């Protein structure tokens, strides 16, 4: 009897006590069946009031956390109540998931394990069907997402990633200065202006009015959407997207020189694309030596490479005046160089220079958006393709935000009062 009292205390379900235990060794899985007795306190599932009048009862078995190596089953009498307000209603039990034959503790453990394991691995570990695990995890992420605090956010960032084949895109909206730091807030489909409308409905008009800065690429759809919903916003163009345009221009110079060069020169240009596009500081050993040899034999590529290496200084200035002088001097170096792709690039930057120089006024984390894109792609790749698109978006949010922190034991057990 003393042992059962210990188990009752460990179980911690108020109003229940352990009245018996049996071990079932039949089949492939060893089970322990814990029979629970009641202490006569019943709550109506309709109105939440305590009711003493019982209509009928039935036996129910539910899954609970593993007891050592045993799969644990709780067996108890569940009752239907005669409530004066609601009529005949099944009682509400706080430790059970609604409409599920599992305890809340098991659901929590499954959802936490899904943060660090695949759905299939969690299903194997917990002896559950993978579909059951997926639904439990999906519901837990939806609940965490609905309870997130969106207060104190003044800077948003947005970018898109391609998914699968064809022109299929997801847009990721991130908070870059929230109370919990930089994190993804929302994942939606598409990259047009109208595709962001669900985000603004979710985020709220009042919060949108408090947004002072938005970090994005030069996509017209994102720019129009943010300006339409955030009256006082200042646009900052993402450094990595601007640099991508410059690298494309450098590659165009390389291809033009390859076509213009003779047979011997083509041999030196062959296979040098990626070492040319990389930053000089990131090249080591043979790659660095090969780049130096390439730059020594072609003047245009040498000049284009120098301009590419120096362009990143534009984001190092604190004052717009100094940054603008640097940009004007950078453009002057294009004179007489016959670098047509660079001249097109310079014209594009002139059209968007205010958004680039906006970084001088607000130093935000420009690298976070690019890093998040890579992380989101890895999440999709590890899953080998999600059949449930909504679940895929939720997993990206979870993996790139504070709700994805692994917390296996966040809540104390609700023990019976002593």
pLDDT at res. 259: 79
pLDDT at res. 213: 95
- Integer angstrom CA distances of residue 303 from 300, 309, 349: 5, 10, 19
pLDDT at res. 262: 65
The Cα–Cα gap between 61 and 102 comes to 9
Tokens of 55: 């209509």
pLDDT at res. 416: 45
Residue 354: alpha-carbon gap to chain centroid: 30
- Integer angstrom CA distances of residue 2 from 6, 7, 8, 76, 134: 6, 9, 10, 20, 40
Strand stretches in 148-198, DSSP E: 155-162, 169-178, 181-189
* Total Cβ atoms within 10 A of residue 33: 16
| Tens-level pLDDT at each residue, the chain (418 residues) | 677 787 788 888 888 888 999 998 877 888 999 999 988 788 888 898 888 888 998 999 999 999 888 999 999 999 999 998 899 999 888 888 887 889 999 999 999 999 999 899 999 999 999 999 999 999 999 999 999 999 999 999 999 998 877 678 999 999 998 888 899 999 999 999 999 999 999 999 999 999 999 999 998 999 999 999 999 999 999 999 999 999 999 999 988 887 777 666 666 667 778 888 888 888 888 888 888 888 888 888 899 999 999 999 999 999 999 999 999 999 999 988 889 999 999 999 999 999 999 999 888 888 888 889 889 888 888 765 567 889 999 999 999 999 998 988 755 544 444 3
**Partners of residue 178 on adjacent β-strands:** 181
Entry pTM: 0.84
The Cα–Cα gap between 278 and 305 comes to 10
Burial group, residue 119, by CB count within 10 angstroms (0-12, 13-18, 19+): buried
pLDDT at res. 341: 94
pLDDT at res. 415: 43
Instruction: Report domain extents, the chain.
Output: 2-96, 155-212+366-394, 239-360
Residues with Cβ within 8 Å of 6's Cβ and at least 6 positions away in sequence, in order, are none
Angle between helix axes 239-260 and 299-311 (nearest 10 degrees) is: 180
Please choose, from the candidates 365, 396, 355, the residue with its C-alpha nearest in 3D space to the C-alpha of residue 178. 365
- Integer angstrom CA distances of residue 193 from 164, 196, 212, 219: 22, 6, 19, 10
């Amino acid at each position: 009897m003393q042992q059962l009292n210990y188990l009752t205390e460990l179980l911690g379900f108020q109003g229940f006590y352990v009245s018996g235990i049996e071990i079932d060794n039949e089949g492939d899985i060893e089970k322990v069946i814990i029979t629970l007795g009641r202490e006569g306190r019943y709550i109506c599932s309709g109105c939440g009031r305590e009711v003493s009048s019982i209509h009928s009862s039935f036996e129910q078995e539910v899954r609970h956390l593993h007891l050592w190596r045993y799969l644990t089953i709780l067996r108890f009498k569940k009752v239907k109540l005669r409530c004066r307000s609601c009529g005949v209603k099944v009682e509400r039990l706080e430790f059970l998931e609604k409409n599920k034959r599992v305890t809340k503790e098991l659901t929590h453990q499954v959802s936490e394990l899904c943060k660090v394991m695949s759905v299939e691995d969690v299903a194997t570990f917990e002896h559950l069907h993978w579909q059951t695990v997926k639904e439990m995890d999906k519901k837990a992420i939806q609940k965490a997402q609905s309870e997130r605090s969106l207060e104190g956010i003044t800077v948003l960032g947005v970018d898109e990633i391609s998914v699968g084949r064809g022109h299929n895109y997801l847009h990721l909206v991130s908070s870059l200065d929230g109370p919990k730091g930089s994190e993804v807030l929302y994942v939606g489909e598409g990259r047009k202006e109208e595709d962001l409308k669900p985000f603004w409905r979710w985020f709220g008009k009042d919060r949108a009015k408090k947004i002072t800065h938005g970090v994005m690429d030069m996509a017209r759809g994102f720019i129009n959407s943010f300006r339409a919903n955030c009256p006082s916003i200042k646009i900052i163009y993402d450094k990595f997207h601007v640099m991508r345009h410059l690298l494309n221009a450098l590659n165009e110079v390389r291809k033009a020189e390859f076509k213009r060069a003779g047979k011997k020169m083509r041999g030196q240009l062959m296979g040098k694309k990626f070492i040319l596009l990389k930053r000089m500081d990131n090249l080591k050993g043979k790659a660095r030596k090969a780049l130096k040899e390439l730059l020594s034999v072609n003047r245009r590529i040498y000049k284009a490479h120098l301009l590419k290496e120096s362009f990143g200084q534009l984001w190092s200035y604190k004052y717009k005046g100094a940054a603008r002088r640097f940009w004007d001097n950078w453009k002057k170096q294009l004179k007489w160089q016959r670098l047509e792709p660079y001249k097109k690039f310079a014209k594009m930057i002139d059209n968007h220079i205010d958004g680039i120089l906006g970084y001088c006024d607000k130093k935000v984390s420009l690298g976070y958006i690019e890093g998040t894109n890579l992380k989101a792609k890895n999440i999709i790749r590890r899953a080998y393709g999600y059949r449930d698109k909504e679940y895929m978006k939720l997993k990206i949010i979870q993996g790139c935000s504070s709700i994805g922190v692994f917390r296996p034991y966040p809540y104390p057990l609700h023990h019976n009062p002593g």
